[in-house]
Homo-oligomer: A and B are copies of this chain.
């Protein structure tokens, strides 16, 4: 239940305020040279404190590999790794010992487990996504030819009304908000800063594009490629929706318009299918969109309850993101990489 993947697998452990988070990556083939820089770069893109619009909380997020790599190359055995929690001032959280913060996991964890680590959200903290980023960066080593790019396409009610094919995806990292349309990026930044001034938070959306995918990845019935992608993405904290290809808009269309007519080479003139037909990649671009709710922690007083059903008044402390989508971009890319690497390896067993 803490493992994701079938051949390429990440098993995760850790809470935000324990000594460390980390995981075990299995299924990586032997003999692959690890690009440590690529791994750390991915972690840095997720790390708090990276820009003025993200939380100013500092976390180093330095990964230590404990096994499975020898003389810089994978041995084919599991890669254990950890990331120390260097910034966990647990004292900050003692007021939350018995409190249930609205739209957090405090109440549900207590219902499920009775005993929980209440510091910083414990296991429910988005900090656990750092391990996913590590696993994603290693996954990309398996499928170097597949190009995975995510970007922010909406913040609150502001939406980028352009398709990914109309954008220059190489500009994504040039803006703190990770939107390749520089004009819209500035509007997103302004909206996030205003939201922060109000002590509030705001939602947003991320689009992800997976290019240069070989045809034939995916399984027919219960492990359709889109189903594994949705399964992965819906595990990201704050994600409320997933759509791929024509998505919700596609439900309004007729078949005569939605059908993707073939070119003689097997590519299609349109791509409403989103690169997947019958659960299996067809070689066209895979693209999907995710909705993120506004984060629950806001800098405003809120009424709530504690575990004795007392009504309490909550005041958030600490440093929090007013909008998580910019920092979620590398997490989305990481999960997409894990899903694609897993299918890529699995497909090797499909041929006799």
Question: Is A122 interfacial (CB 8 A cutoff)?
Answer: yes
Q: How many residues of A contact B (CB 8 A)?
A: 154
Oligomeric state, in copies:
4
Considering the complex, which residues of chain A in the window 1-31 have a beta carbon less than 8 Å from any beta carbon of chain B?
1-4, 6-7, 11-15, 18-24, 26-27, 29-31
In the complex, A70→B260 CA distance in Å?
Answer: 28
Q: Please determine whether B201 and A254 come into contact, CB atoms closer than 8 angstroms.
A: yes
Q: Please determine whether A349 and B124 come into contact, CB atoms closer than 8 angstroms.
A: no
Considering the complex, which residues of chain A in the window 241-271 have a beta carbon less than 8 Å from any beta carbon of chain B?
241-248, 250-256, 258-266, 268
- In the bound complex, residues from chain B placing their C-beta under 8 Å from that of A104 are 277-278
When A215-B108, A303-B261 are in contact, do A13 and B203 touch as well, CB less than 8 Å? no
In the complex, A246→B103 CA distance in Å?
Answer: 12
Question: Is A160 interfacial (CB 8 A cutoff)?
Answer: no
Considering the complex, which residues of chain A in the window 197-236 have a beta carbon less than 8 Å from any beta carbon of chain B?
198, 200-205, 215-224, 226-235
Q: Please determine whether A108 and B218 come into contact, CB atoms closer than 8 angstroms.
A: yes
In the complex, A80→B220 CA distance in Å?
Answer: 15
Known pairs A14-B66, A21-B66. 5 more at Cβ < 8 A?
A12-B222, A71-B115, A230-B231, A259-B298, A345-B349
Question: Is A273 interfacial (CB 8 A cutoff)?
Answer: yes
Measured CB to CB, the closest approach of chain B to A295, in angstroms, equals 6
Considering the complex, which residues of chain A in the window 293-325 have a beta carbon less than 8 Å from any beta carbon of chain B?
293-298, 300, 302-305, 309-311
Q: Give 26 CB contacts A-B under 8 Å.
A: A1-B221, A2-B223, A13-B24, A15-B75, A22-B80, A29-B349, A29-B352, A30-B350, A70-B115, A75-B117, A103-B258, A105-B277, A109-B220, A112-B280, A112-B350, A237-B278, A241-B244, A247-B291, A248-B291, A255-B294, A255-B296, A255-B297, A259-B302, A264-B309, A272-B293, A349-B349
Partner of A230, one of B1, B230, B263: B230
Measured CB to CB, the closest approach of chain B to A299, in angstroms, equals 10
- In the bound complex, residues from chain B placing their C-beta under 8 Å from that of A266 are 100, 107, 305, 309
In the complex, A303→B269 CA distance in Å?
Answer: 12
Q: Please determine whether A31 and B254 come into contact, CB atoms closer than 8 angstroms.
A: no
Nearest chain-B residue to A288 (Cβ)? Answer: B241
Q: Please determine whether A108 and B281 come into contact, CB atoms closer than 8 angstroms.
A: yes
- In the bound complex, residues from chain B placing their C-beta under 8 Å from that of A250 are 203, 240-241, 291, 293-294
- In the bound complex, residues from chain B placing their C-beta under 8 Å from that of A76 are 112-113, 115, 350
